[in-house]
Copies of this chain bind each other. A is one copy, B any other.
Amino acid sequence: MATSFTVSEIAERVGGTVRGQSNVRIYGVASLEAAGAHEVSWITHPKYAAVLAECNAGAVLAPSDYGETPMVAILCPLVEAAVGKVINMFAPPIPSPPVGVHPSSIVSESARIGDEVAVGPHVVIEDGVVVGDRTILHGGVHLGCGVRVGSDCRIWDHVVIGHECVLLDRVVLHPSVVIGGDGYGYFQDGGRHHKIHHSGTVRIEADVEIGAGSCVDRAKFGVTVVGEGTKIDNLVQVGHNAIIGKHCLLVAHSSMAGSSRLENSTVIAAYSGVREHCVVGEGSVVLVHTGVASDVPAGQVVSGSPAQVHSRRLRGLAATDRLPNWIRRVKELEKRIKRLECPTNDS
């Protein structure tokens, strides 16, 4: 039996108000082009009005001040958030291993597994591990000695969490994430690099999500931290003793070097890295291909490698682009001044 909601139920869930018939029943969500009579769609801007005019959706999410619509409208102060919420209302359940421990998995007798935990096949749970209630461990997950995982986490296939690392509640780790590998720390002696033992750990706070193949290294001493609500994309590297604040975004292939720090609500775009010991201030945005080589104050937008204020870098890039023209003008000036200096040589 398909999930369905009335328009008024949806409006209530997203904090919107209905304009039109509130008892229309909705069975799904789709784009303006694809939506049918029993689906809800959305419009974010009047520039899509022509598409909306042709749309067959049974209802539409629209900004609070949006004009006439050909179907029932759910007017919302924040349409994008409303769309996200509606998508989640209709989301099918994610296939998961059943509650209990798969017989092929190996669970230490000293591990403490919460209620309604699901442990898939070929999982390894070592001594002293604690797993919170309702957490789901997909196939091949390895939890090292003393690892603590909170409640309502979902740990996808082949994730490795090294000894003593900690995850708080509602953490999602995608396949092949590695938490708690050794940091990249060596000392030089006699022309050789010698490994420094890493005895620290990692703490992943509540509501963090980390994408496939990303790595968070354990601290040399103390703890590497990924703060509450931060979302990390695929193939991201977080070095030893990095401290990432709350509600940050780290896009694919970004990286945090050892002991670097992000304050809350910062964004690091793809291929951007923060150098050892550097700090990116609250709310700052580090654009793509940026090398942060010194501290960035709060509220800045930076780009370039080494990083500079983005607007200033854009001015430099624009000027560079016109350089051949300026060089021509300088050459011309040289000729003209020569003529002024030696009028008799003028040819």
A interface residues with partner B (beta carbon < 8 Å): 30-31, 78, 80-81, 83-85, 87-88, 91-92, 94-95, 102, 104, 106, 120-122, 124, 126-127, 138-140, 142, 144-146, 156-158, 160, 162-163, 172, 174-176, 178, 181-182, 184, 186-189, 191-197, 199, 207, 209, 211-213, 215, 217, 220-221, 229, 231, 233-235, 237, 239, 247, 249, 251-253, 255, 257, 265, 270-271, 273, 275, 288-289, 291, 303, 305, 308, 312, 315-316, 319-324, 326-327, 329-330, 333-334, 336-337, 340-341
CB pair A163–B95 under 8 Å, yes or no, is: yes
State which of B221, B247, B330 has its C-beta within 8 Å of the C-beta of A30. B221
- Which 8 A-B pairs have CB atoms at the shortest separation, nearest pair first? A84-B187, A91-B197, A319-B323, A181-B212, A178-B212, A289-B305, A174-B181, A160-B175
Q: How far apart sit A160 and B102, CA to CA, in the bound complex (Å)?
A: 18
Chain B residues in 8 Å Cβ range of A162: 175
Q: How far apart sit A216 and B250, CA to CA, in the bound complex (Å)?
A: 17
Most buried by B among A139, A229, A257, A327: A139
CB pair A158–B184 under 8 Å, yes or no, is: no
State which of B106, B211, B255, B275 has its C-beta within 8 Å of the C-beta of A253. B255
CB pair A88–B197 under 8 Å, yes or no, is: yes
